[in-house]
Chains A and B, each alone.
Chain A
Amino acid sequence: MAMTATIGRAHADPHHIGLVVEHPGPAPKRTVTAYGFWVFLLSDIVMFSCFFAAYAVLVSQTADGPKGSEIFEQRNVAIETVCLLLSSFTCGMASIAADVRNRFWFYLGMAVTCLLGVIFLVIEFREFADLVSRGYGPSRSAFLTAFFSLVGCHGLHVSAGVLWLLTMMAQVFAKGFRADVLRRMMCFALFWHALDIIWVGVFSVVYLLGSGV
């Protein structure tokens, strides 16, 4: 009788909010680690939202300098976007390969991810260098300060991601698919996908909205 009551409640309450499971024990370490990293990523996104807010406020304060539509090149941004999107996909392939412990596909997926990330960084660096050489550096106007900090902060994250990616390849090479290495790999995949989400915001708000202003 008590049994049926419990089962009935479980069906009415799929999220187990009212149901006390007897001694479920601690969650697996993989879940705990990934959840902690997830909370870090969300706080990272909150930090980016501050840069977005600053950009939105300062976008029209050009101090007679160039407007966004005068300095943005849509073609470069499209290439950068496709690079990051494809790298997110190959990163997913690498994490599947890590889960089934297939070294070849893991190395291949990570190498392609790294290559696409580096292409992204090179294009972005050349865009920045070009702007600075034309006198449109971050000190030119409040708009350019906000632009360089927002896009540069994302670029720094991608650079850190590339370093982390190479570290993961080296760790798998040296230590194999150990449980702790797999946990790090899972955190790296979360990080890389989150960077792509932030880039969606950057190219929509900064480059596409900015090109119409």
Chain B
Amino acid sequence: MSDQTHMNGEHDIAPGDEEQHSVGERIVGYVVGLGLALLLTATSFFIAGTDLVWQPSIPVALIVLAIAQMGVHLVFFLHITTGPDNTNNVLALAFGLLVVFLVVGGTVWIMGHLNQNMPPMDQFIRMHS
């Protein structure tokens, strides 16, 4: 278990570590990531407050922008790549995302149906009178 040889061709790479790059290249990577993230954030805040676009599209746009920004963070800050040295990291991430989508999607889906099928009593009376 050596500590220093963390860039070994045969081995997986640690999450957060990059393949061998010079300091300049690594800094450029972070600068690009910061620029993209700031751009996406600014777009999100602009979209949320504007009435230039069709209003029902705003929530979808915000969610798409958020997912895009999370992708930017994963690639440029956490250095998750599709390379063979990253297989384990990506698989763990994929499993985590699966659980996240099951929890959030499942909860919103089921609770939405419950709300629809079992409305509060006053609402129920209004619906059927």
CA distance A33 to B46 in the complex (A): 40
Instruction: Give the contacting residue for B89; candidates A38, A54, A209; CB below 8 A.
Output: A38
Q: A92-B77, A93-B30 are in contact. Are A81 and B16 (CB under 8 A)?
A: no
List which B71-127 residues lie within 8 A (CB) of chain A: 73-74, 77-78, 84, 87-89, 92-93, 95-96, 99-100, 103-104, 107-108, 111
Q: Is A143 in the interface zone, CB < 8 Å from B?
A: no
* Residue from A27, A81, A200, A211 in contact with B73 in the complex, judged by beta carbons closer than 8 Å: A200
Count of B interface residues, CB-CB < 8 Å: 58
Taking CB atoms, residues of chain B closer than 8 Å to A203 are: 44
In the bound complex, residues from chain A placing their C-beta under 8 Å from that of B30 are 89, 92-93, 96
A116 to B8, CA, bound (A): 35
Main secondary structure of the interface of A (DSSP, over half): helix
> Chain A contacts of B99 at CB under 8 A?
46, 49
The count of residues in chain A whose C-beta lies closer than 8 Å to any C-beta of chain B is 62
Interface contact A49-B104, CB-CB below 8 Å: yes
| Cβ contacts under 8 Å, B96 to chain A | 42-43, 45-46
A96, B26: Cβ atoms closer than 8 Å? yes
Interface members, chain A 48-63 (any B CB < 8 Å): 49-50, 52-54, 56-57
CB of A15 closer than 8 Å to a CB of B? yes
The answer for the CA separation of A185 and B17 in the assembled complex, in Å, is 12
Distance in angstroms between the alpha carbons of A143 and B6 in the assembled complex: 47
- A184: interface (CB < 8 Å): no
CB distance from B30 to the nearest CB of A (A): 4
Binding site for B on A (CB under 8 A): 14-16, 21, 24, 26-35, 37-39, 42-43, 45-46, 49-50, 52-54, 56-57, 74, 78, 81-82, 85-86, 88-89, 92-93, 95-96, 100, 179-180, 182-183, 186, 189-190, 193-194, 196-197, 200-201, 203-205, 208-209, 211-212
Could you show 11 A-B contacts with beta carbons less than 8 Å apart?
A: A29-B3, A31-B17, A39-B92, A45-B100, A56-B107, A57-B111, A82-B41, A95-B16, A190-B15, A190-B78, A200-B66
